[in-house]
Amino acid sequence: MSVLWSGKPFVKKTMVKFAIVFMVVTIVLSPIFIFAPPLILFWIAFCLLFFPLYYFNKKAYTYFITDKAVRIEKSWFFGSYAREITFDQIRDVHVMQGLLARRFNCGSLVFVTATGLEVGYRGGGAAVGRGVVVGGGAAAPTIVKGRGNRFWDILDPAKAREILMGKLTEWREVFQQQRIAISVERMAEGRASPTPTQQTSAATSTETIVDQLERLKKLLDSGAITMEEYEKAKRKLLE
């Protein structure tokens, strides 16, 4: 498979976000720190431990768009992870950006697959889950982001989506043409031994054969079928 696009999470935005959160939380908790100075040491130690883990966890991901699938890979000292989502599984693609992500022109590319596990629900008294509603009230669908269904904070996500959607559209057109070619060949195989009813409708059959031959020629010209497949189906139609 040829790689059309590859990228990694944009960690510069992660560093800026952490700095902002650290300053805001420190200011908010400053009255507590004044009356309990040891707590500020605990807060600083927590940040020094948490941020490197979060940073290297995010940096460990690598993303790929190929001509047949999207691939998510992760490799770091705690282990590795890989998932490939083929085009026949992808039902929708979303670009998600927060305020800071828009400032840095980055964001997440989130995929909804045929399984529907990436869709949860939220509403009055409802809990978000992977395709499960808990509680009452009106529930609305929402995308559940996870490591296995998104490109996390990539640069220029709109461009990556454009590349993916272009390839997805092309793949679906070829797939549809192949299905038509298979259907035409099966119809031709069934016509090889005509029933009495088929024999009494020669005019209609002739018109149908002409239409099918034209369709076959279009499939050949578009590259959906080979010359060998074209000649084989054509012979069966004309028998």
Map residue 29 onto helix, strand or coil.
helix
Q: Which residues face 121 on adjacent strands?
A: 141
pTM of the model: 0.70
What pLDDT, on a 0 to 100 scale, did the predictor assign at position 118? Answer: 84
Of these ranges, 83-92, 122-131, 225-234, the one predicted with the greatest mean pLDDT is 83-92
Dihedral in degrees, nearest 10, Cα atoms 139, 142, 147, 149: 120
Q: Is the pLDDT of residue 203 over 50?
A: no
Count of alpha carbons within 13 Å of 128, Cβ hemisphere only?
10
pLDDT band, residue 133 (cuts 50/70/90):
very low
How far, CA to CA in Å, does 76 sit from each of 4, 14, 21, 109, 197? 25, 18, 26, 22, 68
CA dist., res. 28 & res. 147, Å (int): 31
Residue 60, SS3 per DSSP: coil
Mean pLDDT of 18-47: 93
Q: For residue 200, is pLDDT > 60?
A: no
**What pLDDT digit, counting tens, does each position of 156-191 carry?**
999 999 999 999 988 888 877 777 777 776 766 665
The yes-or-no verdict on residue 136 having pLDDT over 70 is no
pLDDT on residue 124: 55
Report which of 54, 42, 61 is spatially closest to residue 18, judged by C-alpha positions.
Answer: 54
Q: 67-71, 92-96, 146-150, 204-208: which has the minimum mean pLDDT?
A: 204-208
Q: Is the model's pLDDT at 52 over the cut of 50?
A: yes
Contact residues for 108 (Cβ-Cβ < 8 A; gap 6+): 95, 96, 97, 101, 145, 150, 151, 152, 153, 154, 157
Q: Six-digit token pair at 156?
A: 């220029």
Mean pLDDT of 5-30: 94
pLDDT at position 239, please?
65
The token duo for 44 is 């600083």
Mean pLDDT of the chain: 82
Q: Which helix (H) or strand (E) holds 118?
A: none
